[in-house]
Amino acid sequence: LCVQATGPAAQSARRVVITGVPDGLLPDDVMADILIIHFQKSKNNGGDVEEVTYPTKRKGVAYVTFEDQEVVERVLGKDEHRLEDRRLSRYYPLKVTRYCENVFGSVTSVLNLSVFKDQFVLEELLQELQKKSTALSFGPLQPNGHISVQGSFPAMKLLRDFLLLKAKSLSEKEKGKERKSQQSPRRRLQQHRRTREASQFVQGADGEKQMVVLDTDTYYYMKHFFPKTFPVNDDVAISASADGDITTVYIKSAGSRSDPRQVLRVKENIENQSVKLHNDLRKERICYERHTREEKERYKRVCTSLKSHHPSVLTIPYDTHIDVIGTSSEVFKFTKEV
């Protein structure tokens, strides 16, 4: 499909990200020529280069687009890339990775569509969601109304906003029907339960309580480097609940005299910051699952000792690995030193 695709999608499939490009040694156009020469050489598993983007907004990072996607696979398969040229005083190791537009390729979430089952045929609702969110991948609809969805966070956010509007409209219709019609106690109880579920799903429409769904690693990075995004004061209360790749942040008014608009401003700031980081961050994983406990502790000590040299890099240690999060160039330098 990638080979047959046209336009930006096809170009992205033929592009790689180069980190470790020596910065400031030569004029930018000269460095771009050196990169072209390197990635056209057969000894580097290269081929015809369509375009080199250098410099980029990230220091030491370049984008190379090949004319043939097969060259991408060959270049990625080479164990080591050394940038060598008579205009350089020494060789420089390069890291080549597959191009992707977002920090974390995709995340998976489980939607509970059962709150809509009395108003919609769920299969038809699913078809509407699939048409609305073509960038997302939907799993099979389960008998209990649950369905797995996979895709990028921006696409997931659009889907969430669409469902919130659906739930809100249903909630308002339910309230109108209850006022106008005489129904049995059992029927009223059923409608009240559905209304309550929908209102819980859409809490925040009035500005008093809001919810933001974030990538967990992005959330950790924001908490560490941008703590003011999550203000702690008498007006707003913020809590977070992590569930694997996803962290849900809840924002609500802290007191009866709090301004509901402050809650909306905090929510907007969190969303804007997360979108910016989603486009800028990259993650590398240092695995040590088969190492001894002493070796794992050594890795952790090394990461701690290097933090002062890489102040914009966040490391998150786990039992089997360490996640390194930051910009492409910083992550590459940090993991190389480790």
Q: What is the pLDDT, as a whole number, of residue 277?
A: 83
What strands, in cross-sheet order, belong to the sheet with 92-98?
49-53, 61-66, 15-19, 92-98, 81-83
Average pLDDT value over all residues in the chain: 80
> Would you say 223 and 277 are in contact if contact means Cβ atoms under 8 Å apart?
no
In whole angstroms, what is the distance from residue 310 CA to residue 300 CA? 15
CA dihedral 134, 325, 277, 219 (to 10 degrees): 90
More confident residue, 3 or 204: 204
Q: Token match 């974030």: residue?
A: 214
- pLDDT band for 186, please (50, 70, 90 cuts): very low
Q: For residue range 26-58, what is the model confidence (pLDDT) as tens digits?
A: 999 999 999 999 999 999 999 999 999 998 877
Q: What is the pLDDT, as a whole number, of residue 197?
A: 40
By percentage, how much of the chain surpasses pLDDT 70? 80
Record the tokens describing residue 197, joined without a space.
């579920």
SS3 for 318? Answer: coil
> Would you say 216 and 247 are in contact if contact means Cβ atoms under 8 Å apart?
yes
How many CA atoms within 13 Å lie on the side-chain side of 185? 0
In whole angstroms, what is the distance from residue 119 CA to residue 123 CA? 12
Looking at the chain, the number of H-run helices and the number of E-run strands are: 10, 14
Q: For residue range 280-299, what is the model confidence (pLDDT) as tens digits?
A: 788 888 888 888 999 999 99
> Would you say 315 and 266 are in contact if contact means Cβ atoms under 8 Å apart?
no
Which amino acid is present at 239? S
> Would you say 48 and 25 are in contact if contact means Cβ atoms under 8 Å apart?
no
Rg for the chain (alpha carbons), in Å? 25
Whether residue 59 is predicted with pLDDT greater than 90 in this model: the reply is no
- Using alpha carbons, list the distances in angstroms from residue 247 to 212, 229, 269: 8, 15, 16
Q: For residue range 134-184, what is the model confidence (pLDDT) as tens digits?
A: 777 888 888 888 888 877 766 777 788 778 777 766 655 555 555 545 444
pTM of this structure: 0.49
The pair phi, psi for residue 218, each rounded to 5°, is -65, -40
In whole angstroms, what is the distance from residue 153 CA to residue 39 CA? 33
Q: Token match 């609305």: residue?
A: 132
Q: What is the mean pLDDT of residues 83-106?
A: 78
